[in-house]
Amino acid sequence: MKRAALAAAFSLVACSSGAQQQQRQAEAPPPPPCEGASFEGASFTHCTATPGRHTIHLVLGPQNGAPYRSLSQLAVSRPSGSPAVAFAMNGGMFDADGKPIGYAVIEGQRIHAINTNKGWGNFHLLPNGVFFGDAAGHWQIRTSEDFAGHINNRPDFGTQSGPMLVIDGTLHPKIDADGQSLKLRNAVGVDRQGRAHFVISDEPVSFGKLARLFRDKLDCPNALFLDGSVSSLWDPEHGRVDGGPPLGPLIVVEKSAKGSNGKDRP
């Protein structure tokens, strides 16, 4: 009887301890969305958007206004009462006026159609791709051809950029393993759990190294290059607001979650 009583007492203590630990974990704040990372001897900043914890928006400028052109202008122009920003990055290729040159959807409104034109530069190093999703946290990256052929409902946000870095687990066939072009670069990938990983290099890196980071370290079957040289990050938690050349579309990750909308054609 004594042994049974002792066992029951230990069981109660263990259950109580486990419940307290779970409560502490539930009350603990989530880790910062952005953190330092290293890969193949290079330094990066890695920011993660998690479904249910974050929402993602494409932003160009204030309603009916000119593009912000910088993350600092975005920061000072946020309307009062807006959800807290987890982080923001430049979000795709643009023209001299800062307007997108490829597919772009802002809050369910398409402002540029899919671009399948041939040309020069990173955007036209085919296949390029589209990063898109809804307010409920369903985020995807597809090649532009795949997107145009299979996505029938307009997403809540979307941005076309290029080139793709990783395509269904395989590196872009036209990207050298370590080319001679070394620049500050940023990109986005979606992992097998549906999280969106945003990476910006802290030093000049090659396309190949950036692509391998998404495939080998972050386990992202698909990843999309966002830009080089102008690559910028706003990380409020660490007080970072990058400056530099004028920007175009911006990807804003907020600390909130909303329901999905939008059944319009893309």
Mean of per-residue pLDDT scores for the chain: 89
**What pLDDT does 121 receive?**
82
Amino acid 259: pLDDT? 42
Would you call 256 exposed, middle or buried from its count of C-beta atoms within 10 A (0-12, 13-18, 19+)?
A: middle
Residue 59: CB atoms within 10 Å: 19
* Residue-level pLDDT at 3: 52
pLDDT 10s digits, 172-206: 999 988 888 999 999 999 999 999 999 999 999 99
Q: What is the pLDDT of residues 130-158, one digit of tens each?
A: 999 998 899 999 999 999 999 999 999 99
User: CA 199 to CA 197: how far, in whole Å?
Assistant: 6
What pLDDT is stored for residue 217 in this prediction? 98
Q: Are strands 240-241 and 185-190 parallel, antiparallel or unpaired?
A: unpaired
Token reading at 127? 């296949």
Flag whether pLDDT at 261 surpasses 50: no
Q: Could you report the per-residue pLDDT of 26-80, keeping only the tens digit for each? A: 556 778 999 999 999 999 999 999 999 999 999 999 977 899 999 999 999 998 8
HSE toward the beta carbon, residue 94, CA cutoff 13 A: 27
Residue pair 72/246 in contact (Cβ under 8 Å)? The answer is no
pTM score, whole prediction: 0.87
